[in-house]
A and B are shown apart, each in its own frame.
Chain A
Amino acid sequence: MGECVSSVADQFWAQTRNGLTLGAIYAMIALGYTMVYGVLQLINFAHSEVFMVSTVVSFYAFGRWFDVTEPLTGVALAGVLIAALIPAMLASGTTAVLIERTAYRPLRRRGAPRLSFLISAIGASLAISYLFNLMDGQHYLLFIRLPAILGAAPRSIPDVVSSEPLFTLFGASWTARHVLIVASTAVMLIVLDRIVRLTKLGRGIRAVAQDPETASLMGVDIDRVIVITFFIGGVMAGAAGLLYALRFNVTAWNIGFLPGIKAFTAAVLGGIGNLRGAMLGGLLLGLVEAHGTACTAPHWANVIAFLVLVGVLLIRPTGLLGERGVA
């Protein structure tokens, strides 16, 4: 125990930096869970695949289209990032909408029990991830050869942002990568928060979250709001996927599973259905995980998130900021 405390103290600022970077990514994925939960009161188990799709697009953008060979700077960096971000976000947003159409809407129409939604979402998640596993140019589906997009082996993504130290804060050196991830997440979270709070669309989302029936009586098109909510959640996961690709330089068909579970944990930690809660929960979970790994061997890192999840659900199932409709 003493060793643990001193080890955490030694690496405190470095792990805080790692935790914030990781937490930023979790927070962005968590938004998708929490927004969908807000309007539909169910967990989108397939959200991890929405995230995965974006890491694949990032792989193509950085590794193929722009063929990045060494870390970029300045205008070139900004240009490449934006040019990669747009297709990544669109791909994830589209995947999320497709999931809503195929796995949720038919059940919603019928008023199926909650269990059905969960099972359907698990099926969608399994199908999407294995579709990418099969897309290596060697497999056929209904006699059509699947394109060689990903396949079973993980692909590495080149370094786009420099990992040279930029500045030192309390003895921990921050690289451009860390700064970029944390800063861009902060911007996107603020933008989303403003959209949901101030625009007409945001009002529609909040109305459906609060009371779908009354909202529809007031002229809100529920189906449209739900699709847009899935899309926005998907877009955020798309951005998260790109940042994840920048940070960890890898994509694979099954890469969504752990970040997905952790982001879900983050959403629950902050209070599911609560946007600011998801943001707070993501950052907190990132920090807990980073400091936890300073204490234990790295191969226990994934257990930490699960223990946090179980702990939160037992002690305060409504999360830190409380459960509510998207707000």
Chain B
Amino acid sequence: MDELIKNLGLVINATLIATPPLLYAALGSTFSERSGVINIGIEGMMTIGAFVGAAVAHFTGNAWLAFLCGGLVGALFGLIHAIACVSFGADQTISGTAINFLAPGVAIFVCKALFAQSSNTPPLDTVQKLPKLFNGVFEVGSFWNNVLNTYVATYLGFVAVAIVWFIFYKTKFGMRLRAVGEHPKACETQGINVFRIRYVAVIASGFFAGLGGAYVTLCTVSQFRPEVIVGQGFIAIAAVIFGKFTPHGAMGACLLFGLCNGLKVLLGSGNVISPNLISMIPYVVTIITLVLFVGKSRVPAASGKPYVKQK
């Protein structure tokens, strides 16, 4: 029994550590998607966020500043995506693909330039990493320590869901953002600036994706490596579709994918199943969940369509 509870604690712990990067990125994707702009560049934005987070923490020792900078560099690439897609009406998938080349390319390029041709940043010390909330409150290895003593940034991720939900469904901006993703022309005829709202949404999507990336290097991996994101940006996009394009739905989906990772930890411990096969689980689960649930997901009507202003 004790063993079971302990294992349960470990799984919850692993889930809570694996979920936030997906969650931040998914919130970003929700912003962008709901305003009618597809952003598959989330993956690249996470990668550069991860690098900037690690690099800033290494040089300044200030993990919170590093976390913020990770978000800001993501926002910068969000801006590039917005300029291409909103102002210039580029094909959103192609622009996103470009960002998935550019952002990791820039990250590794700068990394090599800064750290003597190495594509990894030096490992971060514990003090350079983001703190945990209940450090030292519970006995090490106890169930509650496993469950509750997790990163502050994890808790923040869940708070962010509530904030984004509030913005979407209670504020003027959120209402307009959702309307712009459905029927931009109707919005323009009511005097709403479609471009401005889409700019804000796409930049926000980059910011959140950057935070998600920075979380990975500042909490879990403690170091930037080129393969540190491995498709988490894409899984986040899947989570958004699975979660019906709502922040709370996306959170549910991210927790499910996070749980896959939690199980990975448990299953991997005995080395019975090949780690490579276990690593496939989130991707297979994504496909299966989409098969089972996607029919019920309503895509924003203007999704993927560049909006052309009247002259």
**Is this pair of chains taken from one and the same complex?**
no
Chain A interface residues (CB < 8 Å from chain B) = none
